[in-house]
Structure 1
């Protein structure tokens, strides 16, 4: 059957209506805390409730829709700011389609994880009254099923730091092991033993490499200087840097 013949006999009313949206778990570190971007919904359903940024997919790909929503809420839409999107770690997280997750109709949402070291103050998009960064431990009672989506996004980000060198993207080009440890502590939400962390990082081939230089970091001029490192060429960490709680389970 050719396309014209098929369309002639096609009745869309015979099929259930399904819409597709995207939701974005955008994470960054602000003042040493892992924060998530939330919006205050300006429209029903859940008007006035906090939610993850997102919206309906238009005539675009899923990736394009998610990047558009992220750009709208963060203000990374033009000029120099648009270049900041290149520094965002961006990946598809999961698909959520349980019946009743949205009271309007059957809506399937494709969630994305966006993770960057520095993102600007947000600017609410067209369907949001406000947008702001919130420490992840304070992001609760969100609209729709966004509590679950956020939990899944956090777990994905924490896993990424165990098995990949993603954390090196959130420090400067040259950094100290202490600065790298602060990234891990913020994302994992756990204090890390400085000596143990230092030893583990240097035991992973290709994770970091010494620059041969030192610099004062966070201390008074003339104080002790710390060795500087840069990201190595490893794409996966072996052995992995497991979270302390996960190490206990492995043993």
Structure 2
């Protein structure tokens, strides 16, 4: 069961708790929250996030995209998950795959240091829930969410449901942020590559071998433990 949050100024925000794991348990609530850009958050919205336990915000956007600030009592860490590797991004931007799960596995394989730095930040964050976001809360956020869900062996069905929620929230996002989030364009790109949003995410999630990637990225033992136990909130299945 997905835990959507009602936060004034956000339309694509949810707690990653309550998702089914392969052992029959569910992911713990109050550990990770995913969202879109926080620019429209009202004071009441920030109060609601604080009441939910959020103490750290991870901004995954590129430097030129970063806007806004966080209130006292919440730490902000800015980490560019994309990077500026032109050789990697140019073909993906040219054919539209950059805004879909079709780039996830290539990113993990070819730019492993980018996500590894984000996971290190998660491991060293102070006590409390960690909220991570990009612009739309869709695919940079979605890549990190997929890794976190795979770390607790969340079922493919529930992981896909979490990803697809961004499509369901697209109209509300447009209303809150006064801009399009290109849901139809994303679907058209996926169709050109023989996918739906569901099938594209499932293909990436199914082939995401986290233990193998940990070795590839040389992820530190402390960080591995923080990720695979969701910051000590559960034992690894």
Q: Which has the higher contact order (CA 8 A, sep 6+)?
A: 2
TM-score, normalised via structure 2 length: 0.27
Select the structure that is richer in helix: 2
Q: Normalization by structure 1: what TM-score?
A: 0.26
Structure number, greater radius of gyration: 1
